[in-house]
């Protein structure tokens, strides 16, 4: 059982469409991060959210941390082929020894 459940697992969309990826848990996280990983490379940190209800924007990407700090979402507006990759959420929680735990990821493919 994943400590962080991501959905959907796979997403294939056309360029220009919008999408949302979700990251849910029954645990409370002190911080939550989103990473993007391309094939054969390591994950690259996109954002860290720490406050319940926090919203952060990174160009066309909008990240939200749930009020109860148990869930997060990543919304991409007008997706581009360059957004293709594996999106991973990761969180830090005291009940997991404060180590970073990862969701299984969402594979996004944006077709031109």
Smallest gap from residue 28 Cβ to another protein (A)? 15
The yes or no reply on residue 78 touching another protein (CB under 8 A) is no
Smallest gap from residue 55 Cβ to another protein (A)? 19
Cβ proximity to another protein: between 15 and 95 the closer is: 95
Going through 15-102 in order, the beta strands assigned E by DSSP cover: 19-24, 31-37, 44-49, 55-58, 61-65, 71-76, 85-92, 100-102
Cβ proximity to another protein: between 8 and 16 the closer is: 8
Print the binding letters for residues 17-46 with another protein: x by CB under 8 A, - otherwise. --------------x-x-x----xxxxxx-
**R_g of the chain, CA atoms, integer Å:** 13
Distance, CA of 27 to CA of 68 (rounded, Å): 9
The yes or no reply on residue 66 touching another protein (CB under 8 A) is no
The yes or no reply on residue 1 touching another protein (CB under 8 A) is no
- For 10-28, b/e burial (b = at least 16 CB within 10 A) is ebebeeeeebebbbbbeee
Interface contacts to another protein, rule CB under 8 A: 2, 31, 33, 35, 40-45, 48, 88, 90, 92, 97-105
């Amino acid at each position: 059982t994943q400590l962080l459940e991501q959905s959907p697992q796979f997403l294939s969309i056309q360029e220009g469409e919008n999408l949302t990826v979700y990251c849910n848990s029954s645990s409370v996280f002190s911080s939550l991060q989103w990473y993007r990983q391309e094939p054969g490379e390591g994950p690259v940190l996109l954002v860290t959210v720490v406050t319940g209800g926090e919203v952060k924007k990174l160009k066309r990407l909008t990240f939200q941390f749930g009020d109860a700090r148990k869930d997060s979402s990543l919304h991409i507006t007008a997706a581009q082929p360059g957004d293709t990759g594996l999106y991973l959420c990761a969180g830090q929680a005291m009940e997991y020894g404060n180590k970073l735990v990862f969701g299984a990821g969402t594979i996004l493919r944006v077709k031109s």
